[in-house]
Structure 1
Amino acid sequence: MTTAVWIAGIGMTPFGRHSGKSVGELTRWAVTDALRDCGADLGALDAAFFGTATQGALEGQHMISGQIALRAMGIQRIPVVNVENACATGASAFALAVNQVRASAADVALAVGVERMNVGDPERTMSVFDSAYDVSDPEALTRSLLNLGGEVDEPGLGRRSIFMDIYAAVARNHMRLYGTTQEQIAAVAAKNHDHASTNPRAHYRKSMTVAEVLAARRLSYPLTVPMCAPITDGAAAVVVCSEAGLRRIGAAKQVQVLATVIGTGSDRDTSTFDEHLTRAVSGRAYEQAGIGPDDVDVAEVHDATAFAEIMQTEMLGLVPLGEGGPAALRGETTCGGRIPVNPSGGLESKGHPIGASGLGQIFELTEQLRGTAGPRQIAHARIALAENGGGFHRGEEAVAAVTVLGKV
């Protein structure tokens, strides 16, 4: 019989600019809040999984980042495993903590993710994204983008991550195949900026209209700045337990981890979306959880751009293939809609501190299932889904993680 795993505690800093905080201080903030949330102390932890994707590149702290950050706050002797898996780092740390408990190797495990990306050197920060594709064959990236999105002459667009060009090319391919429009992409961004306006932990908390999103500074077509995630600092932490662990710390059963699945891409024809990586990973997650897409009440998806939300809602089966854009324009994915997506504001508004983003999704969904999400609360939410992807290789994400949570 598989060991049941429960979310006992959650903690999350506000996402935004934390120029006065170190990685260690942000870590302490999130972990302390997660332990306080479940009534546990540091001595309750049996293992910890520490996620960061950029600290090595930006600060030179490679190899033992978790051991340093966690020991500074008093976490010692227990196993500490460092996790780096591109933008899916947070979800990967969570999956490892869950599997540690499932394997009966721990009763109480911690997953924490953290980034401090605003280091005063924008060029250096942007350079970290250049390692999230195959650096041994950069021409392959150029070929992939041309094959997907065609050649577009857009001079003078200004500084941006290479991933905005990647998402733009994939978006143009989707527009060609399914008739998705720039207005539909803008509707996603406007919806998420509106959701974030009621989230006290969000990087951006200003509502925007579709017209304002479309009129903003252009990035690579069809994307404008408000459609894209900002450079963000922050941390998030989750404590997971077996039933024995819950009894040990005195926490109640509230939110159960029904599935957590990670997958990598394959050598397939990526010019179409019918065999996309997230579709395969979510199928395994639904099977593991014993549910289907129609059972999901609320979702947090990896919207590093607004187009990505359209794509992922289709890949997760929340809407039919090609219907992500029209569904967003109709309001189906708002907090009051048929299938609320990114009630937190998503990465493009809540922010995207890479190693913390996946755990920030778990934080939001746990609040939704507990009924403590305030103005963003989705009524009667019982099944929640998170999708967290990262990197780019041969036409699609290099890694995708899907998590399913259930309310007791």
Structure 2
Amino acid sequence: MRDVFVLGVGQSQFGKMPDRSIGSLGREAALAAITDAGIPAREIEVAYGSRLYADMITAQTVLKEVGITRIEMMSIENACAGGASAVRALWKDIAAGFYDVGIVVGVESMTTSPVAGKLIPPAKDDLEGQLGSAMPVTFALMANRLMETHGATPEDFAQVSVKSHDFGALNPKAQYRKRFTVEEVLASRPVVDPITLLQCCPNTDGAAAVILCSESYARRYTRQPIRIMASVLQSGDYFHRKADLTSFEVGARTAAKAYEMAGVDPRDIDLVEIHDAFTAEELVHYEDLQLCARGDAVGLLRSGATSLGGRVPVNPSGGLLSLGHPLSSSGVRNIGEIALHLRGEAGERQVPGAKLGLAQMLGGNATGLETGACAIHILSR
């Protein structure tokens, strides 16, 4: 297996843009990634697209807008982990030697989707979902359990949102660039106790793209290639085997495999980008990613270690809470975010001296499963 590198990254503006098409959003991100890589578009050999709410042929729909046709193209859906799953697929193609360079584009228009302005509806045969187990409910149960077992408080959950919006205020691509106080977060509209509106990610439109390549190809275009040291994708287990409501078994399992593949210790990670659709979720990921010991997530948050300037900043992009969450885009976007920091090109939100970063994305829900999928990529410079 060959080493695989991130050569180019790109992102559209994130926000509510119902007047923009999938092609338009994807084109913005793809062109940005191609320009960032400094390569001719005609050299792209393979392409993957990802979109949850799609008619068909996402990759072709987007890439025809930038003059790319007549190559192998594939579209992948894996809920919120779809974009990261597409990156994993391209990584395998290049690592195995099938291609030297390819592109992934994740794109979503939530404001024109069938769920615009609504909760994502459960499938007709999803018994738990039909009985009311929507995502906010799941994470509210998790939050209440964290208060019982970890000593978390509503103020702690609100602080996660405050931190994310502080980061988002520094990101010109973010949907929301407004800072909030703990009091303002807690005073926002209740959703499911103890979660309030400003503790939930917004509906968002947007696209992100990354270009991956082999080492020999990367050396032709850059002196600072970003290596993907680990790429791991795992599916969730049966819910009846879940032993702890304050952990995602699939998240912990995927993280352990990623650290083993990369040959690194969790303490070596300089920054992390994670799925934070709800504030309580971030605390759970701290422990599953081994950023702290079991039971210490609240202490890690309160210490400031996960804030900008801390030991391991989490979601310096603003995360899903502030940057926004166009579902299939997020797993591509957060890999690109890590790459920017490792190159020292993240602007005001730059993590100084970052050498090693982790991007995680999980998603999907079905009766009987803990969750659908989790993908983790570890990148280094």
Q: Which residue of structure 1 aligns with residue 236 of structure 2?
A: 265
The alpha carbon displacement at 1:373 in A equals 1.1
Higher alpha-carbon deviation: 165-174 or 183-192: 165-174
Q: Which residue of structure 1 aligns with residue 290 of structure 2?
A: 317
CA contact (8 A) 2:204 2:326 kept: yes
The alpha carbon displacement at 1:372 in A equals 1.0
The 1:174–1:395 alpha-carbon spacing in structure 2 relative to 1, beyond 3 Å, is: farther
Matched, 1:398 2:372: yes
Instruction: Say which SS state the counterpart of residue 192 (structure 2) adopts.
Output: coil
Matched, 1:382 2:355: yes
Matched, 1:16 2:22: no
Distance 1:271 1:176 in 2: 16
Distance 1:187 1:69 in 2: 38
Instruction: Say which SS state the counterpart of residue 231 (structure 2) adopts.
Output: strand
Unaligned runs of 5+ in 2: none
Instruction: Say which SS state the counterpart of residue 340 (structure 1) adopts.
Output: coil
Q: Which residue of structure 1 aligns with residue 24 of structure 2?
A: 25
What is the correspondence of 1:9-408 to structure 2 with a 5 Å cutoff?
A: 9-54=8-53, 56=54, 61-62=55-56, 64-119=57-112, 124-125=115-116, 129-131=120-122, 135-139=124-128, 142=131, 162-247=134-219, 250-267=221-238, 268-272=240-244, 273=246, 276-393=249-366, 394=368, 396-407=370-381
CA contact (8 A) 2:158 2:185 kept: yes
TM-score for the superposition, normalised by structure 2: 0.94
The alpha carbon displacement at 1:294 in A equals 0.5
Aligned-pair RMSD on alpha carbons?
1.9
Instruction: Say which SS state the counterpart of residue 113 (structure 1) adopts.
Output: strand
State the one-letter code of the partner of 1:110.
I
The alpha carbon displacement at 1:135 in A equals 4.1
State the one-letter code of the partner of 2:276.
D
State the one-letter code of the partner of 1:298.
L
State the one-letter code of the partner of 2:155.
E
CA contact (8 A) 1:188 1:329 kept: no
CA contact (8 A) 1:189 1:348 kept: yes
The alpha carbon displacement at 1:65 in A equals 2.6
The alpha carbon displacement at 1:266 in A equals 1.1
The alpha carbon displacement at 1:396 in A equals 2.7
State the one-letter code of the partner of 2:88.
A
Instruction: Say which SS state the counterpart of residue 20 (structure 1) adopts.
Output: coil
Distance 1:351 1:193 in 2: 11
State the one-letter code of the partner of 1:396.
E
Instruction: Say which SS state the counterpart of residue 256 (structure 1) adopts.
Output: strand
Distance 1:373 1:137 in 2: 41
CA contact (8 A) 1:98 1:109 kept: no
Distance 1:359 1:177 in 2: 34
CA contact (8 A) 2:247 2:284 kept: no
State the one-letter code of the partner of 2:347.
G
CA contact (8 A) 2:203 2:324 kept: yes
Distance 1:26 1:276 in 2: 34
The alpha carbon displacement at 1:66 in A equals 2.1
CA contact (8 A) 2:363 2:374 kept: yes
Unaligned runs of 5+ in 1: 146-161
The 1:135–1:296 alpha-carbon spacing in structure 2 relative to 1, beyond 3 Å, is: farther
Over 4 Å off, 4+ runs: 140-143
Instruction: Say which SS state the counterpart of residue 379 (structure 2) adopts.
Output: strand
CA contact (8 A) 2:224 2:343 kept: no
Distance 1:227 1:305 in 2: 6
Instruction: Say which SS state the counterpart of residue 375 (structure 2) adopts.
Output: strand
